[in-house]
Amino acid sequence: MFLQTQGITKEFGKLRAVNEVSLAIIKGDIHAIIGPNGAGKSTLFNLITGYHRSTSGKVLFKGEEITHLPAYTRCKLGVTRSFQITSIYPKLTVYESVLMALLSHRKETFNFFTSAKKFFKEEVWRILEDVGLADQANILGDSISHGDKKRLELAITLGTEPELLCLDEPTCGMSTEETDNIMSLINKLSTERGITILFTEHDMSVVFGIAKRISVLHQGTLIADGKPEEVRANEEVQKVYLGGTS
């Protein structure tokens, strides 16, 4: 199995934000986690990527337990989430930001603005072209549009050569058009680079339009898990989520 959680649980004081969730993510899938606000989606992501320590339970990646590994080590292994560009490289250009991600991932010793720049040039351009930012390569990360910042986040994440890419509400704050663009980009990354995608998204038309598998959380508990048509037909899901407001 590619990625698995076994009875993963996270408590914040008395609140059980994630309750014994056992989940399997298949290599190459586009897998959505859905559920109302406060269902535990972000917490589950943090447990998978290593930004939270679990109260109990396990996370396994390609058969190896990674439960106690820090986020940085998981990222090296290929379990990555998107980074907040706004807090990382606002004063670098789009090009430099992606280059920086590649360099720090590959741990090269480098003279940043000379030899390394040439060495990684091809890969940076490939990433920028993939995410549609090639024409903005020389613009500061600070100065691009919100939608393009999301693309840059993805580009930086690609610089870490992910195998499993976790995207927590990647279309947050986007217009319908930007949402469509980013989702087709995610689809492309999955098919062309073979990256497995785990994502959360509140817009059900987006989820059902792209996900190959959907897991539903409700108050920290996994209440349904399966193909989109199975999840859509699930009565409990309809009761607590799809039919409700959220």
Applying CB under 5 A, which residues contact Mg ion? 41-42
User: Near ligand ADP by CB under 6 A, which window of 30-38, 94-102, 126-134, 235-243?
Assistant: 30-38
Taken in order 199, 203, 206, 207, is the CA torsion positive or negative?
positive
- Number of shown-chain residues binding ligand ADP (CB under 6 A): 11
- The correct pick among 4, 5, 19, 43 for binding ligand ADP (CB under 6 A) is 43
Task: Tell me if 111 contacts ligand ADP by CB under 6 A.
Answer: no
Nearer to ligand ADP, 19 or 136 (CB): 19
Binding at 17: pick from Mg ion, ligand ADP, none (beta carbon under 5-8 Å per type): ligand ADP
Joined tokens for residue 146? 């919100």
Task: Tell me if 50 contacts ligand ADP by CB under 6 A.
Answer: no
Alpha carbon dihedral 71, 200, 18, 213, in 10-degree steps, equals -100
Exposed, middle or buried, 23 (CB in 10 Å: 0-12/13-18/19+)? buried
Taken in order 112, 113, 119, 121, is the CA torsion positive or negative?
positive
Q: Which residues contact 213 (CB under 8 A, 6 or more apart)?
A: 25, 26, 29, 30, 31, 32, 225, 226, 227, 228
User: Near ligand ADP by CB under 6 A, which window of 33-41, 156-164, 178-186, 221-229?
Assistant: 33-41
> Tokens 């690609």, residue?
158
- The correct pick among 20, 24, 28, 38 for binding ligand ADP (CB under 6 A) is 38
Binding at 111: pick from ligand ADP, Mg ion, none (beta carbon under 5-8 Å per type): none
Task: Tell me if 37 contacts ligand ADP by CB under 6 A.
Answer: yes
* Short-list 30, 21, 85, CA closest to 199: 30
Task: Tell me if 35 contacts ligand ADP by CB under 6 A.
Answer: yes
Nearer to ligand ADP, 53 or 239 (CB): 53
Output the residue with the shortest Cβ distance to Mg ion: 42
Q: Which residues contact 125 (CB under 8 A, 6 or more apart)?
A: 134, 137
Contact positions vs ligand ADP (CB under 6 A)? 12, 15, 17, 35, 37-43
